[in-house]
């Protein structure tokens, strides 16, 4: 006698689909958090100028003698031209009718994450490419970094911190900011000097990706820190970056109402150190079924995002990039 069993049921019947989406793993998006921000309209190029510090006047004045005029230094000009960035996804009427997940909300969340990651990555790439470069150990270039001899050590951190002080870099709310990759922590946590220096901040600070402070420098962690794959010695070593950031070292610019909010990375109340929550696109562009053009049967719709954004390093002496290798990666 044949038995009626579960193999006679379709997968749609025997599968329980819970209407709850699991958390997407997202990196902390913090590279633009401390930028000088310019939001404007009616112009295409944003220009900023910086004058060099005058040297000390150490010659004593002669009696009744007027000294030579001090020459005013020419300013260094930096310009930023915002560019447009965006992406979109399409959906169909059947997808909307049969999907277990809310189509528009799901697509909006995914695109919002993409928008945040896009801008953070663009800022990160500009900072790491234009900051004053340094290399761990005895290496003098990225291609000479060797994991056997040039693994990052606390002395490398100190050297870059001291260089900011020597350049008279200004602090941000009393602190320099440092951004590192999680894999870099392995070397630091096994260094007794680092362990002795680092101090933990209040637990709620972990929501912002803040690990702790070393002297007067705050250490932030992001898995979106730049990694140059196989860029070290013999093209087999992954090279990691650590940014040291002072005030007015870099800037971002964009058009009014079209710029992303770089001050928020969507950390949320849980306070995870590495993973942020959903971000909303700056401009969510949605065309419902039948609104995308020639679509007489209302079969197609789209969801997209768009931002206008530009960035530049304003003072390379006040932002440093320590390139290094780790044994743990």
Residue pair 307/87 in contact (Cβ under 8 Å)? The answer is: no
Which three-class secondary structure string do you get for the chain? CCCCCHHHCCHHHHCCCCCCCCCCCCCCCCCCCCCEEEEECCCCCEEEEECCCCCCCCCCCCCCCCCCCCCCCCCEEEEECCEEEEEEEEEEHHHHHHCCCCHHHHHHHHHHHHHHHHHHHHHHHHHHHHCEEEECCCCCCHHHCCCCCCECCHHHHHHHHHHHHHCCCCCECCEEEEEECCCHHHHHHCCHHHHHHEECCCHHHHHHCEEEEECCEEEEECCCCCEECCCCHHHCCCEEEEEEECCCCEEEEEECCCCCCCCCCCCCCCCCCCCCCCCCCCCEEEECCCCCCCCCCCCEEEEEEEEEEEEEECCHHHEEEEEEECCCC
Give the confidence band of 25 by pLDDT, cuts at 50, 70, 90: low
pLDDT at 264: 56
Task: Tell me the CATH number of domain 138-249+314-324, given options 3.30.1930, 3.30.70, 3.40.1000, 3.30.1380.
Answer: 3.30.1930
Strand pairing category for 250-255 and 46-50? unpaired
Asked whether the beta carbons of 201 and 161 are under 8 A apart, the reply is no
Nearest to 243 by CA among 176, 320, 310: 320
| pLDDT higher at 43 or 301 | 301
243 bridge partner residues:
179, 321
pLDDT in tens, 66-81: 888 887 777 888 888 8
- Topology (CATH) of 36-47+73-123+253-313: Major capsid protein gp5 fold (3.30.2400)
pLDDT in tens, 233-268: 888 889 999 999 999 999 998 887 777 777 655 444
Q: What is the pTM of this model?
A: 0.82
The pLDDT mean for the chain works out to 80
> For residue 9, is pLDDT > 60?
no
Report yes or no: 131 and 319 within 8 Å, Cβ to Cβ. Answer: yes
| Domain-wise residue ranges, the chain | 36-47+73-123+253-313, 138-249+314-324
């Amino acid at each position: 006698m044949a038995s009626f069993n579960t193999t006679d049921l379709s997968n749609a019947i025997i599968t329980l689909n819970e209407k709850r989406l699991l958390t997407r793993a997202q990196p902390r998006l913090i590279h633009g958090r401390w930028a000088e921000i310019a939001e404007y309209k009616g112009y295409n190029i944003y220009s900023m100028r910086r004058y060099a510090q005058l040297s000390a006047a150490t010659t004593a004045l002669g009696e009744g003698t007027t000294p030579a005029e001090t020459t005013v230094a020419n300013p260094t000009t930096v310009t930023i031209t915002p560019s447009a960035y965006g992406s979109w996804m399409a959906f169909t009427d059947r997808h909307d009718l049969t999907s277990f997940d809310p189509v528009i909300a799901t697509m909006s969340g995914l695109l919002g994450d993409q928008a945040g990651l896009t801008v953070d990555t663009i800022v990160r790439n500009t900072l790491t490419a234009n900051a004053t470069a340094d290399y761990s150990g005895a290496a003098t270039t990225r291609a000479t970094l060797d994991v056997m001899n040039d693994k990052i050590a606390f002395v490398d951190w100190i050297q870059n911190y001291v260089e900011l002080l020597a350049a008279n870099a200004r602090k941000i709310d009393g602190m320099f900011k440092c951004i590192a990759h999680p894999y870099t922590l392995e070397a630091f946590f096994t260094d007794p000097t680092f362990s002795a220096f680092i101090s933990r901040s209040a637990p709620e600070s972990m929501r912002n990706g803040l690990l702790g402070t070393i002297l007067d420098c705050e250490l932030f962690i992001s898995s979106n820190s730049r990694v140059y794959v196989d860029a070290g010695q013999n093209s087999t070593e992954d090279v990691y970056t650590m940014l040291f950031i002072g005030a007015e070292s870099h800037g971002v610019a964009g058009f009014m109402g079209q710029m992303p909010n770089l001050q928020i990375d969507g950390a949320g109340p849980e306070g995870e150190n590495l993973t942020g929550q959903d971000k909303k696109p700056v401009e969510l562009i949605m065309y419902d079924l039948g609104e995308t053009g020639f679509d007489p049967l209302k079969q197609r719709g789209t969801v997209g995002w768009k931002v206008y954004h530009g960035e530049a390093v304003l003072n390379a002496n006040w932002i440093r990039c320590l390139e290094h290798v780790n044994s743990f990666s």
